[in-house]
A and B are shown apart, each in its own frame.
Chain A
Amino acid sequence: MAIIYKQLDINNIRYFDRLKELIDADLSEPYSIYVYRYFLNQWPQLAYLAFVDENPESLPIGCIICKNEIHRNSRMRGYIGMLAVQKEFRGQGIAKKLVEKAIDTMIGNGCDEIMLETEVENLAALNLYEGMGFIRMKRMFRYYLNEGDAFKLILPITERSSIRSTFLMNQDPIAETQDISKLIV
């Protein structure tokens, strides 16, 4: 089956509800509408959807939702906020493709690194991301409301990812001033 991947159309409310449904299906506690709006309104170009066909009536069967922002005034950090593929369509490389598309766009946006958190028990997600070069940076104790520990994973894109932010800030005062203006959206 040829899967079609599209960037999100923020004005299509049906997609919006469907995204919530896809993501919420695997969460013990759902995200509020604010969280979805937070990502999608600000970074619609970083949300990709997977469809089984071109039919405009079809609903997505997988999605990825991301953002990118200057982190600690020092480097551009891409962040994968949510990713899900409908159960029946798993194991066909759909998530991998979605992640690749999102990362490509984030690299295009000048990201120095891509970050995400995932549950320690989520082997599918860990395999997926580690298979793309992400490494575990730290473990977080009882990070999720359902009480599991989590890992923070990072994929380095540029050399800036391996320099502590304190030193990046000191070295690059220009970045600092630019960051401030970007932070106050």
Chain B
Amino acid sequence: MCNEIDRCDIEKLDKTFSGLKLHSGRKWPKPETLTSIKDLIRDGCQALNAEEIVKVPTFDLFEGTHSLEINNVKLDSYLIRLSDNEINFSCFIPYDKTSNPDCDQEDFQYVVAIVDRLVRFIITWVTDYQSLPTTVLSCRYVEYMLKQIADVHGIDSDYKFLNTNNGYFDKVLNSSVLGICYFGAFVKKLLKGGGIFEEEDLNFNSMGLDGFDMMPPTRTVLMLLSEGINFIQGDNSISEIDSQRLQYLLKLIRCLAMFDTYLSLYSEDSIPLDEALELVKNLNDLPKCNYTPPIGSFSMLIQKQLSNQFPPKELSTAAEDFSGFIKLIQDLKKVISVYQVSSPHELMQFATFFNKNEQRHVLARALFPLIVIKDDSSVLGKWSFAEALQSHLQFFSLSGTNAERALDTEPFRSLMDPIAQEALNVLFEWYQNSSQNTARYRQGYNRQLLLWDSVQAQFEGIELKFDGSEEDSVEGPPGYGSIPLMPFSSWAFIMKTRAMIEFTLKGFDLDIYKPFEAFQMFWFTFFLAEQLEACLQKVDTFLQNKLNAIHAINKRMKKLKAGEKKERLREHYRTEMAVSYPSIHKNKAWLRYISTHNNIIKSLCLFETFQFGLLKSYGFIDNTASAKNKFVNEKLIHDLRFKPFSSIGVPELPSYNVFQEALEGFVISEPMMKAKQEKVLSFMDQQLSSATSDIKSILINIEIGDFNSDILTGTRLIKEDAVLYYSTLQKTIDALSLNNKTSLSIFKKGASTDQLQVSLKCESGLSGYFPLMVLNSKMHKTDRK
């Protein structure tokens, strides 16, 4: 495309290139150590077929679509036009109208304006998803500071880089900018931690500035900020309000700089967060700052001059006020409150709910997995990885089993260890997934399905062969004989089925399914919930048998005559009552929670399938793609939708035909349509009232707390979120009921199926997992925008 480039541009380029000089201070390699690649390139180019596309084997088209292009105004940052003020801006002079005729404000006014804008830019960057170079890094002082930090790396420095001989610039601005860079470095560490994704969650385009990785010690930053604050306090010549604003800003930056301790020291101290919250309120209470920063101090210049892999982008508009910090701070506070959990199951519930109702702030989401799964191979610094895994298992199904005791014996232990390691990895993936953004969250479950499935199959292989497994069993329904408990694989099965349910229902929340798919997704989830229920019941029966066995000791004891044997039995009974009984009781209460929750899901799914059946009975919907096109193949579409489950061993995916037959069971028709409908409606009502009563018991138990309750919710530390979650489900139930009544009145009126169609509606304030199937007018071509 070279011939397309303006001739005059090439001349300009030639001129620029010929003017390039080597900086004397730079160390260049000796010529004799260099090899010329000129011939290599020339030969390579000659061998190139003009139609060939040059790309590495690892080429990624998504990244490719972000490629840049020389001489294209929208894609070449070299073409950014800058004013003289931007080009000539200097960080070496103070800006002050008394000493500089080009200035119209006082020194402190300029500094207030710069710091105020920078702090608001932090919000725009980390909360409003704008890029680093169009926000914080657009400030020339930030760029300068980062370069200086890199230059003095490894050298003793006082980090006083602004030497303008003006206190406001040298003390106040210097320390503020350093503090903000320090906060930036913390954000970079969070991003590198791997819990969140560059670009989609947060932009950290540092323009090749490596100062972010070479920060001074925290105490240096805090000390300089304190010096800055002292300087402001010592200056009586500025107005009270300016002094206050600057002090609040510097104190806020000081708090931001301390956030690093949540990662570097795993600090559990919420004082910097509380203080920051207070300062944000104070800043918001002040009238808006109407000073302006020195012209050119915020600029696109960095995009033009430094290593830039992105298209040019105008500077973002800084956040209006400081409110954006509130969510950040509150969410970080929530995350560090996780240290107060006292058992792995409380941790599990914390992870379940903390990001569930609404997406938490990106920095809080990034921090969560890093403090839960710590670098020192511990969970929250409280449990070793092995302890955490064992405790998870015990709480679900392992407690009181032969398999648990056999863990201390060989070869069981050695056979189990590698699988336990794999299980631990999946469990950690589960934890990490809980803090992902809403779209990744569903994808995470998609991955986990296979992993849990493999873990379950491996556990099963060993459990079946283990001597003593026959005692870990329960009596099945008549004709089934005894069913092995298999506590390890049952746990993996429970985790897997829960993941499958979550993955499926989250699809509604993300608007993945079309109305015609609603039946199959809800019916499948109902089917999964039933499978899960059966497994939970099996474990519960096992635990109940254990309790019965303890009671039986008492009965046996009563029948015995006084004597040594009776005393031994009494002793045994006492220990069982003191140790095993409460622990089994606790397990049962936890399983009751999981079952109650599962029942809610099951009832609501069943309600939705009936709802679909009714709408189909009246001809408003079908489970076939609405598209009538030569490419449409219903079975293939169905199979593609269920692809994630196609390889899962148990529960085995029902066939396409089974889905079709299932739907027929939900459709009613003449004769006696009315009577059948009444029956369906009463069944639907039952589902909603059953879900309502289950929600009520969970809410009551959340309120009571886990001490001595029938249902152990494990939500002590995440109470508000859990209550909101279940209350939202209750509101959804009310809305589902109302919507069904509306549909019924439409059926009654004999509305035409040509006029109305079903859409899936997720109203705000209701659960997106159970959308309303709403009848509304069909959109006509003429209504299109």
A contact residues vs B (CB 8 Å cutoff): 10, 29-35, 37-38, 41-42, 91, 100, 103, 113, 120, 124, 130-133, 135-143, 145, 147, 149, 151, 154-159, 161-164, 166-167, 183-185
Given contacts A135-B640, A137-B512, contact A41 B631 (CB under 8 A): no
Q: Are A142 and B627 in touch, CB under 8 angstroms? A: no
- Complex A-B: 10 CB contacts under 8 Å: A32-B67, A32-B72, A41-B51, A131-B629, A136-B513, A138-B510, A139-B439, A139-B510, A145-B66, A162-B642
A71 nearest CB across to chain B (Å): 11
Complex partner residue of A140 from B200, B514, B637, CB under 8 angstroms:
B200
* Chain A residue with the shortest CB-CB distance to B49: A41
Given contacts A30-B75, A41-B52, contact A154 B64 (CB under 8 A): no
Q: Are A38 and B53 in touch, CB under 8 angstroms? A: yes
Contacts of A30 in B (CB 8 A): 72, 74-75
Contacts of A185 in B (CB 8 A): 53
Please, how many angstroms separate the alpha-carbon atoms of A142 and B643 in the complex? 25
Given contacts A41-B51, A136-B512, A139-B439, contact A161 B636 (CB under 8 A): yes
A133-B637, A139-B510, A157-B631 are known; give 13 further A-B pairs, CB within 8 A.
A29-B74, A32-B69, A130-B625, A131-B627, A135-B641, A137-B512, A142-B201, A156-B637, A156-B640, A159-B636, A161-B636, A162-B639, A183-B57
Q: Are A157 and B442 in touch, CB under 8 angstroms? A: no
- B39-65 near A? 1/0 per residue, CB < 8 Å: 000000000000111010100010011
Given contacts A37-B53, A133-B625, contact A141 B511 (CB under 8 A): no
Q: Are A162 and B200 in touch, CB under 8 angstroms? A: no
* Chain A residue with the shortest CB-CB distance to B443: A138
Q: Are A31 and B65 in touch, CB under 8 angstroms? A: yes
Q: Are A35 and B65 in touch, CB under 8 angstroms? A: yes
* Chain B residue with the shortest CB-CB distance to A164: B647
Please, how many angstroms separate the alpha-carbon atoms of A133 and B636 in the complex? 10
* Chain B residue with the shortest CB-CB distance to A103: B631
Q: Are A156 and B512 in touch, CB under 8 angstroms? A: no
Contacts of A156 in B (CB 8 A): 633, 636-637, 639-640
Q: Are B69 and A34 in touch, CB under 8 angstroms? A: yes
Complex partner residue of B311 from A29, A38, A113, A143, CB under 8 angstroms:
A29
Please, how many angstroms separate the alpha-carbon atoms of A67 and B618 in the complex? 43
Q: Are A35 and B643 in touch, CB under 8 angstroms? A: no
Residue B155, interface by CB 8 Å: no
Contacts of A41 in B (CB 8 A): 51-53
Q: Are B442 and A138 in touch, CB under 8 angstroms? A: yes
B709 nearest CB across to chain A (Å): 38
* Chain B residue with the shortest CB-CB distance to A99: B631
Complex partner residue of B200 from A34, A100, A136, A143, CB under 8 angstroms:
A143
Residue B558, interface by CB 8 Å: no
Contacts of A163 in B (CB 8 A): 643, 646-647
Please, how many angstroms separate the alpha-carbon atoms of A149 and B629 in the complex? 27
Q: Are B57 and A162 in touch, CB under 8 angstroms? A: no
Contacts of A158 in B (CB 8 A): 636
Interface size on B, residues (CB 8 A): 55
Contacts of B438 in A (CB 8 A): 139, 141
Q: Are B627 and A130 in touch, CB under 8 angstroms? A: yes
Please, how many angstroms separate the alpha-carbon atoms of A133 and B638 in the complex? 11
Please, how many angstroms separate the alpha-carbon atoms of A103 and B510 in the complex? 27
- B64-86 near A? 1/0 per residue, CB < 8 Å: 11111100101100000000000
Please, how many angstroms separate the alpha-carbon atoms of A120 and B57 in the complex? 31
* Chain B residue with the shortest CB-CB distance to A42: B53
Contacts of B630 in A (CB 8 A): 100
Complex partner residue of A135 from B55, B64, B201, B637, CB under 8 angstroms:
B637
Q: Are B636 and A162 in touch, CB under 8 angstroms? A: yes
* Chain B residue with the shortest CB-CB distance to A24: B74
A124 nearest CB across to chain B (Å): 8
Ranked nearest first, the 7 interchain pairs of A and B with the lowest CB-CB distance are A162-B639, A133-B632, A32-B69, A156-B636, A141-B439, A139-B510, A156-B640
Residue B561, interface by CB 8 Å: no
Q: Are A130 and B442 in touch, CB under 8 angstroms? A: no
Q: Are A34 and B640 in touch, CB under 8 angstroms? A: no
B504 nearest CB across to chain A (Å): 13
Residue B724, interface by CB 8 Å: no
Q: Are B637 and A142 in touch, CB under 8 angstroms? A: no
Given contacts A29-B311, A130-B627, contact A138 B439 (CB under 8 A): yes
Complex partner residue of B129 from A103, A142, A166, CB under 8 angstroms:
A142
Please, how many angstroms separate the alpha-carbon atoms of A91 and B781 in the complex? 8
Contacts of B303 in A (CB 8 A): none
B711 nearest CB across to chain A (Å): 34
Contacts of B61 in A (CB 8 A): 38
B435 nearest CB across to chain A (Å): 13
Contacts of B129 in A (CB 8 A): 142, 147
B564 nearest CB across to chain A (Å): 63
B135 nearest CB across to chain A (Å): 14
Contacts of A143 in B (CB 8 A): 200
Q: Are A142 and B200 in touch, CB under 8 angstroms? A: yes
Residue B676, interface by CB 8 Å: no
Please, how many angstroms separate the alpha-carbon atoms of A142 and B437 in the complex? 10
Please, how many angstroms separate the alpha-carbon atoms of A164 and B640 in the complex? 10
Given contacts A130-B627, A138-B443, contact A159 B639 (CB under 8 A): yes
* Chain A residue with the shortest CB-CB distance to B510: A139
Contacts of A137 in B (CB 8 A): 512, 640
Please, how many angstroms separate the alpha-carbon atoms of A142 and B197 in the complex? 11
B169 nearest CB across to chain A (Å): 36
A106 nearest CB across to chain B (Å): 11
Please, how many angstroms separate the alpha-carbon atoms of A156 and B629 in the complex? 13
Please, how many angstroms separate the alpha-carbon atoms of A123 and B52 in the complex? 36
B198 nearest CB across to chain A (Å): 11
B322 nearest CB across to chain A (Å): 22
Please, how many angstroms separate the alpha-carbon atoms of A149 and B440 in the complex? 12
Q: Are B64 and A35 in touch, CB under 8 angstroms? A: yes
Q: Are A157 and B51 in touch, CB under 8 angstroms? A: no
* Chain A residue with the shortest CB-CB distance to B513: A136
Contacts of B74 in A (CB 8 A): 29-30
Please, how many angstroms separate the alpha-carbon atoms of A141 and B636 in the complex? 27
Residue B419, interface by CB 8 Å: no
Contacts of A157 in B (CB 8 A): 631, 636
Q: Are B636 and A32 in touch, CB under 8 angstroms? A: no
Contacts of A183 in B (CB 8 A): 57
- B227-269 near A? 1/0 per residue, CB < 8 Å: 0000000000000000000000000000000000000000000
Residue B1, interface by CB 8 Å: yes
Residue B21, interface by CB 8 Å: no
Please, how many angstroms separate the alpha-carbon atoms of A178 and B455 in the complex? 32
Residue B405, interface by CB 8 Å: no
A87 nearest CB across to chain B (Å): 12
Contacts of A161 in B (CB 8 A): 636, 639-640, 643
Q: Are A141 and B66 in touch, CB under 8 angstroms? A: no
* Chain A residue with the shortest CB-CB distance to B311: A29
A122 nearest CB across to chain B (Å): 12
- B642-658 near A? 1/0 per residue, CB < 8 Å: 11101100000000000
Please, how many angstroms separate the alpha-carbon atoms of A10 and B52 in the complex? 13
| Most central of A10, A135, A151 by chain B CB within 10 Å | A135
Please, how many angstroms separate the alpha-carbon atoms of A14 and B510 in the complex? 42
Q: Are A151 and B75 in touch, CB under 8 angstroms? A: no
Contacts of B443 in A (CB 8 A): 138
Contacts of B781 in A (CB 8 A): 91
Please, how many angstroms separate the alpha-carbon atoms of A154 and B440 in the complex? 18
Q: Are B450 and A166 in touch, CB under 8 angstroms? A: yes
